[in-house]
Amino acid sequence: MLKTKKQETKANRVEQQAEKLSRPLVQELDDILGKPIKVLDDGFIRVVDYMGSDESIVQAARVSYGKGTKKVSEDRGLIRYLLRHQHTTPFEMCEIKFHVRVPMDCWRQWIRHRTANVNEYSTRYSLAIDASQRTPHTEWRMQSKDNKQGSEGFFDGDKGKQFSAQELELQNFSRQVYEQRVTEGMAREQARKDLPLSTYTEAYWKVDLHNLLHFLWLRMDPHAQYEIRMYAKTIGEQIVAKWVPFAWQAFLDYKVNASALSHIEIEIIKSLNAGGKDAAIEKAREFGLLPAAGQEIKGNRERSDIEAKLNLLGISIPWK
């Protein structure tokens, strides 16, 4: 039976609406969906599911439904504008769910980011995962002299071999004790209490793109602990870069590889340009970054941060 003109019009509207409401798909991300990406020695990250794409960010920002209303170059420009000016809500329209295997000490830092939905493997209900993160003998780090929560340099190979041997012995013994307790009927919630923090745990972690980028900005930073930095780099470079390439590049340009100037830093640079080194030094003294003339210059973390930015900009440090 032939369709009437009214029926054809209605069918076209339904088809157009379905097209407008179709779920954005990212082929590069679909290609790795469910596949574990190795991190550290026995950890992994895999994408379980995702919602949205670069297109979803643009759609939310324009409060517009439908495809092809703007050129790709304009979409890219809008995303860069949004991130540059910290208009973050459109980035919350994209979400992603990961399945991760991570050492417990690393997970403690990860779980501090309270802007995600989390469900962790339970060692009250199930046996603890029989895997612990081990450190190669060349990768034992020494305590930083300037940063109490950081590391600096490595122990020599012989000392590292000693540490690695001790680590293996400790992990094997703690596992043996744990399994003996469980075999003899001890409650799992108590049997687990002497497992080392190197024991791997697993979790589902679902987060929107805005909060994920904030997580990556903090945890990809060179000052972050190496182990969580490896997870962050893997998520960023091997997953987010495929999922939302425009947003990822804008994030690199305006957050990761950018540097903001404080009021103090701006004033010092203005003084340097207007009056030279002496003016900049005097300005630094006004802000308490340098002692009075003739006094010893002692360590100052804020001044060190300013010096790093001046070096980044290719500006000679006035007081050195």
What CA–CA distance (Å, rounded) separates 100 from 249? 24
- The more confidently predicted of residues 100 and 149 is 100
| pTM for this prediction | 0.87
- pLDDT at position 180 is 98
pLDDT of residue 144: 87
Per-residue pLDDT of 163-176, as tens digits, reads 999 999 999 999 99
User: Which pLDDT tens digit goes with each residue over 2-22?
Assistant: 556 666 666 666 565 555 567
Averaged pLDDT for residues 258-281? 95
Residue 115 and residue 14: Cα distance in Å, rounded?
Answer: 37
Q: What is the pLDDT of residue 15?
A: 60
* Residue 62 is a catalytic residue: no
For 47-58, what is the mean pLDDT?
Answer: 97
User: Which of these ranges, 40-44, 117-121, 143-147, 185-189, has the smallest mean pLDDT?
Assistant: 143-147
Q: How much of the chain, in percent, has pLDDT values that exceed 70?
A: 91
Q: CB neighbours (10 Å) of residue 319? A: 13
What is 19-127+199-256's CATH number?
3.30.1360.170
Average pLDDT over all residues of the chain: 92
Average pLDDT rounded to a whole number, residues 63-84: 77
How far is residue 177's CA from residue 261's CA, in Å, rounded to a whole number?
54
Regarding predicted confidence, which is higher, 103 or 23?
A: 103
| CA separation for the pair 55, 50 (Å, rounded) | 14
Domain boundary assignment for the chain: 19-127+199-256, 141-194, 263-312
Quick one: pLDDT band at residue 89, thresholds 50, 70, 90? very high
Using CB atoms within 10 Å of the CB of residue 62, give its burial: 0 to 12 exposed, 13 to 18 middle, 19+ buried.
Answer: middle
If one compares 65 and 160, the residue with the highest pLDDT of the two is: 160
| pLDDT at 67 > cutoff 90 | no
What confidence score (pLDDT) does residue 65 get?
A: 45
Catalytic residue among 76, 101, 219, 303: 219
Asked whether residue 205 carries a pLDDT value surpassing 60, the answer given is yes
- Mean pLDDT of the region 44-53: 98
Q: Provide the 10 A C-beta neighbour count for residue 305.
A: 13
Which band of pLDDT confidence, cut at 50, 70 and 90, is reported for residue 146?
A: confident
Contact present, 116 and 207 (Cβ < 8 Å): yes
What pLDDT was estimated at residue 7? Answer: 60
Q: Please name the amino acid found at residue 38.
A: K
Pair 297, 255: CB distance under 8 Å: no
42: confidence class by pLDDT, cuts 50, 70, 90: very high
- E strands within 111-261? 117-120, 141-143, 151-154, 200-208
Give the mean pLDDT of 150-159: 92
Q: Looking at the predicted structure, is the pLDDT value of residue 35 above 90?
A: yes
